Amino acid sequence: MTENTNLTHAECQARATTVAVRTYRVELDLAGAPDPSVPTFRSRSTITFTAENDATWVDLIAERVVSATLNDAPLDVSAYDGARLPVTGLAAENELVVEADCVYSRSGEGLHRFTDPVDDQTYLYTHFEPTDARRLFANFEQPDLKARFTFVVTAPADWEILSGQPEVSRTTSGSTATVTFAETPPLSTYITAIAAGPYFRAEDTWRTTRADGSTQEIALGAFCRRSMAEHFHAEEIFTVTQQGLSFFDREFGYPYPWGKYDQIYVPEYNLGAMENPGLVTFTETYLHRGTATLDQQERRSNTTMHEMAHMWFGDLVTPRWWDGLWLKESFADLMGYDVNVAATEYKNAWTTFACGRKAWAYRQDQLPTTHPVVATIDDLEAARQNFDGITYAKGASALKQLMAYVGREAFFAGSREYFATHAYGSTELDDLLVCLERASGRDLKEWSQVWLETAGISELTPEVEHDGEGRITRLTIVQSATDPLTGEDVARPHRLVVGLYELVGDELRPARSIELDVTDGRTEVPDAVGVPGALVVVNDEDLTYAKVRLDEVSLAVAREHLSSLESNLTRALVWSSLWNATRDALLPASAFLDIVHAQAGTERDAALLAIVLEQARGAIVRYLPEGERAAAGARLVDTTRAGLRAAAPGSDAQQTWAKYLAHATGLSGSGLDDVRGLLDGSAVPEGLTVDADLRWECWQGLAAQDAATLAELDAALAADDTMTGRTAYLLARASRPAAEAKDEAWERATTDGQVTNDQLRSLVHGFNHPSGSPDPSYADRYFEALTEWWRTHTMTMAGILVAGLYPGGALAAGQEPERHPVVLQAQEWLDGHADAPKALRRIVVESLDDHLRALRAQRKAPVQQPAA
C-alpha cells in the first residue's frame, strides 16, 4: 500500500471552503492493548459536517478500513490509499461513519503503547501535533476545521481512562469498562487526546475569587506510571500549576475554558510536552529519580507554564494553518520564562533563556535553512520541521523585544482583547498585531516586517575608546544585519540596555546602565562618555535578540574576572557572547576553554554552570583540532574533579560537577579512577547522592573509554531494569569504541523495527560518541541508505537516523574544510538528490553546515589568540 501522508496548504485551504465540521464521535476499543501480540485496535469515527460540493476526503492512517457509510449508504473504500479515504456523493448535511483498524505506535506518533519492564504494565497515550490524530480516527486533519468531539473509550476496567474532558458515564462488562467523556468545546484535531493505563493519580484543586466577585474552581490531576510514583512530587507540580492558573486568569482576563486540568507524565515522548486542553502530556524526563536540582525544577515549571499559556494561546485561539505555528509557540515559549519569574520561586529563569534557549535560535538562524519567524509552510513535512529554534526561541526573543518596545501592560492588554475577540476561532498574524497596536497606540507594521518577516541575526559590536584611566571617551554600537535569504540589509530597531562595568580590585562592579534605542548601522552612546568601561555589555538585561560581540578590552577582562559579576543574567550574556564567537571561529576553541577552566570553578548559578560545561564539551569535540582533544579532555577532567571537590555538600553545583566529570571521562581516560570511585562508593564526596541516573552517566563515561566490560554493563542493567535503565544501557553499550560495538549499534538502529524512539536516540548517539571513530565505510552506507530510511520510517524515526548518524569527522592536517571527504559526499548526495523530500534534504543540509562550521573552527583555531 502506498501512503501519501503529506498534505498541502493549498488543498487544505480548498477543503475548508467547501466543508464545515460540526461533531465527531470517536469510539475506540483498547481492551486488547495489554497483549503486546495484538498490533491494532478498532476505531470508529462518526463525523457530522456540511458540504458545498460533491466530493472531499477524510484523513486516516490505518492498517485497514473495515467499513464506511455516508448518510447510511455504504461507501466504497477500495480507493483508500493508506492516508486518505475519498468521500463522494456528499449532501448538504452529512454523517460519515468510518470503522478502521489502527496501529499501536512505538514511535510516539498517534497512540503510543508502552510496556513497563519493571512490572509489565501497559500504558497508552496519544500525541498528534501536527497531524497524527488520523492515526487514531478518521478526520479532517487541518487546524482550522474545528469541531466538538465526544470520545468513547473501552479499556481494562481497573485502568485510568482519560481524555481532555471529564468522564460523564461508564459501563462495565466483565473486566473492561466503556467510558464516555463530555463533549468538548470546538477544537482542532491535533489537540484532542486520550490516555489509558494503570497510571498513578494525584489530585488537587485550583480556586479563585475575582475582584468582580465571580469564582471558579478547577479540578487538577497529575499522573505518572505506577513504577515512577515514588519519584513523583505531585505537590510541587500542583503548586506551580496553581501559581500559573492564577497568573493567567488575571493577565488574560478570560476564564480557563476547558473544565478540568490534568497533567500526565509519559514515557518515550518525542518532545517536552503537548498542550492538549484538559489533558496536557509531558515527557517523563521531567521526573527525576534522584534529587532534582533547582535548574531541573525550573525547567519543568517553565514547560508547565508554556503549556498552560497554550490553553488560551493555541487552544482557545488557534493558528489557521501551520505557517502560524510561531504565533502560538513564540508566545507560549516567552510565557514559560516570564511567568516563572512573575509567579513562581524560579526568579532566575531569564538566565537560562539568555544563555541556553537563545543559543538554539542563534544556531538555527545561521543555518542555510533558516527562515523568517513568520514562515511560508506549503505542506505538512515543512510544518513538522518548523518546530525549531526559530519558531520557539527566536520568536520568543522577538516577542520579548516587543514587550520591551510596547511595554508589558500594553502587551497583556492586547492579549486580553485578542482572546476576547477570537475565542474558539482561528487567526493569523494580523489579528494579533491589530490588538497590540490598539493597546499600545503604536504602529507595528514596520516592526513586524523587520523582526518577523526577515531572517538572520543582527550583530551588535561595540567600538570603545578609552582614556589613560580606563574611562570611556567614545562608545559606538555598530549594527550589521543581512537577511541571508534576500541578501538585503535589515536595520532592526533594538530597545536595549548597555551595561558598563568597572574593575574594583578583582571584582567587576556596575558603573552605569544606559537604556536606548539602536536603530541604525551606527549608534553613538554619549551617556557612556566619562564612565569607567572595563567591561561593556551591549544588551545587558537581554531585551533584544542579537549576536553581541565583546570589544578587545572587555574580552581580556572577562577572561580574568567574568565570575565576579554579581548578576547571573549579565554573566549568562557574556558567556553567550563567548560561545557565539567560538562557533563563528572568531575566538579559538582553546581560548573559550581557557576561560571555562579559569571561571567555571567560581560560577555560582548551577544552571549556568551546566550550560557552560556542556558548551566546553562541545568546543572540545567539535571546534578543537583533533590533535588537541585528548589533552583538552584531560584538562576538563581536572576542572570538573576540582569543581566536585570544592562544591558545597548536597548542592546543585556538586551534582552538576559530578555529572560533567563523568561526561569528561568519556573524552579522556584520566578520569577513570574518579568515576570508578563514584560507582563503588570509595570516592564519593560528602553530600553527593550517586543516584541511578548519575550511575549511568558514569557507566557511559567508562564505556566510551573502553573501560567497562559488557558483563559490568549487564550487571548495571540488572540492577536498574527500568525503561530509563534500558535506554541508558543501550547508550553505554553503543558508546564503546570497538568496531564490533559500532557494527552492533548500526545494525540495531537501522534494521530492528522494534526499537522505540528513545532507544533509537541512544543507539545513534552511542554510535557517534566522539571517543570512537567508526569505520569510514559507514559514511558510504549512510548516504546510500538515506532515501530508503526516509521511505520506510515515520518522520520522527527517520529524522533521528538521518541527523544522528551523519558521519562527520575532523579536519586532517593541511585539509581545506570544503575538501573534507564527508563534506564532498554530502554535497554530492545533495546534488544527486534534488528531488528527495524537502524535509530529508533539510536535515542533510543542516548536518553538512554544522560540520563545515566545525571544520572551519578547527582550521582557524591556532591562528588567532584573544587580546591579553
Active-site residue set: 307
Nearer to Zn ion, 334 or 713 (CB): 334
641 and 661 Cβ atoms separated by less than 8 Å: yes
- Cα–Cα distance for residue pair 771/823, rounded to 1 Å: 21
- Give least dist CB 508 to Zn ion, A: 37
- Give least dist CB 393 to Zn ion, A: 12
Nearer to Zn ion, 332 or 779 (CB): 332
User: Which grid cell sits at 359?
Assistant: 543559543
For residue 277, say if its preceding peptide bond is cis, omega within 30 degrees of 0.
Answer: no
Please state, in angstroms and as integers, the Cα–Cα distance from residue 290 to each residue in 285, 296, 655, 690, following that order.
12, 11, 10, 8
Nearer to Zn ion, 332 or 848 (CB): 332
Placement of cell 473486566 in the chain: 175
Gyration radius of the chain over CA positions: 27
- Give least dist CB 276 to Zn ion, A: 11
Binding of Zn ion by 325 (CB under 5 A): no
Q: Is 529 exposed, middle or buried (0-12, 13-18, 19+ CB in 10 A)?
A: middle
The interface region with Zn ion, picked from 109-117, 328-336, 727-735, 757-765 by CB under 5 A, is: 328-336
- Give least dist CB 318 to Zn ion, A: 12
Indicate the residue type of 574. Answer: V
Q: Residue 666 in 3-state DSSP?
A: coil
The interface region with Zn ion, picked from 322-330, 491-499, 714-722, 835-843 by CB under 5 A, is: 322-330
The interface region with Zn ion, picked from 329-337, 542-550, 601-609, 736-744 by CB under 5 A, is: 329-337
The two most distant CA atoms of the chain are separated, in Å, by: 92
Binding of Zn ion by 339 (CB under 5 A): no
In a 13 Å sphere around the CA of 143, the CA atoms on its Cβ side amount to: 27
The interface region with Zn ion, picked from 72-80, 165-173, 323-331, 570-578 by CB under 5 A, is: 323-331
Nearer to Zn ion, 332 or 535 (CB): 332
- Give least dist CB 306 to Zn ion, A: 6
Nearer to Zn ion, 364 or 762 (CB): 364
Please state, in angstroms and as integers, the Cα–Cα distance from residue 487 to each residue in 477, 481, 822, 850, following that order.
22, 10, 28, 21
Indicate the residue type of 310. Answer: H
- Give least dist CB 257 to Zn ion, A: 17
User: Which grid cell sits at 595?
Assistant: 576561560
Nearer to Zn ion, 319 or 643 (CB): 319
Encode burial over 551-570: b for 16+ CB neighbours within 10 A, e otherwise: bebbbbbbbebbbbbebbbb
332 and 338 Cβ atoms separated by less than 8 Å: no
Nearer to Zn ion, 315 or 329 (CB): 329
- Give least dist CB 332 to Zn ion, A: 4
333 and 395 Cβ atoms separated by less than 8 Å: yes
Placement of cell 549576536 in the chain: 547
Binding of Zn ion by 496 (CB under 5 A): no
Nearer to Zn ion, 329 or 697 (CB): 329
Query: Which residues make Cβ contacts (< 8 Å) with residue 1, sequence separation at least 6?
Result: 81, 82
- Cα–Cα distance for residue pair 326/373, rounded to 1 Å: 7
Q: Is 432 exposed, middle or buried (0-12, 13-18, 19+ CB in 10 A)?
A: buried
595 and 556 Cβ atoms separated by less than 8 Å: no
C-beta neighbour count of 635 within 10 angstroms: 20
The interface region with Zn ion, picked from 17-25, 74-82, 325-333, 340-348 by CB under 5 A, is: 325-333
Nearer to Zn ion, 191 or 562 (CB): 191
- Give least dist CB 651 to Zn ion, A: 32
C-beta neighbour count of 433 within 10 angstroms: 19
Site size with Zn ion, rule: CB under 5 A: 2
Nearer to Zn ion, 303 or 570 (CB): 303
Encode burial over 62-90: b for 16+ CB neighbours within 10 A, e otherwise: beebeebebeeeebebeebebbbbebeeb
Nearer to Zn ion, 316 or 535 (CB): 316
- Give least dist CB 281 to Zn ion, A: 12
The interface region with Zn ion, picked from 8-16, 326-334, 355-363, 466-474 by CB under 5 A, is: 326-334
- Give least dist CB 275 to Zn ion, A: 6
Residue nearest to Zn ion as judged by C-beta position: 332
Whose CA is closest to 30, among 150, 230, 158, 176? 176
Binding of Zn ion by 383 (CB under 5 A): no
Q: Is 207 exposed, middle or buried (0-12, 13-18, 19+ CB in 10 A)?
A: exposed
C-beta neighbour count of 504 within 10 angstroms: 12
Binding of Zn ion by 332 (CB under 5 A): yes
- Give least dist CB 315 to Zn ion, A: 10
Which residues make beta-bridge pairs with 194? 163
- Give least dist CB 456 to Zn ion, A: 24
The interface region with Zn ion, picked from 164-172, 321-329, 356-364, 523-531 by CB under 5 A, is: 321-329
Helices (H), 321-444: 325-343, 349-352, 358-365, 380-385, 395-406, 408-422, 429-440
Binding of Zn ion by 96 (CB under 5 A): no
Residues between 208 and 227 with contacts to Zn ion, criterion CB under 5 A? none
18 and 55 Cβ atoms separated by less than 8 Å: no
- For 53-115, strand residue ranges (E) read 55-59, 64-70, 73-74, 84-88, 93-103, 110-115
Q: Residue 376: phi, psi to the nearest 5?
A: -90, 125
Q: Residue 370 in 3-state DSSP?
A: coil
Nearer to Zn ion, 262 or 329 (CB): 329
- Give least dist CB 335 to Zn ion, A: 10
Q: Residue 461 in 3-state DSSP?
A: strand
Binding of Zn ion by 273 (CB under 5 A): no
The interface region with Zn ion, picked from 331-339, 500-508, 569-577, 708-716 by CB under 5 A, is: 331-339
- Cα–Cα distance for residue pair 187/310, rounded to 1 Å: 13
Nearer to Zn ion, 329 or 758 (CB): 329
Please give the residue ranges that form the binding site for Zn ion (CB under 5 A). Answer: 329, 332
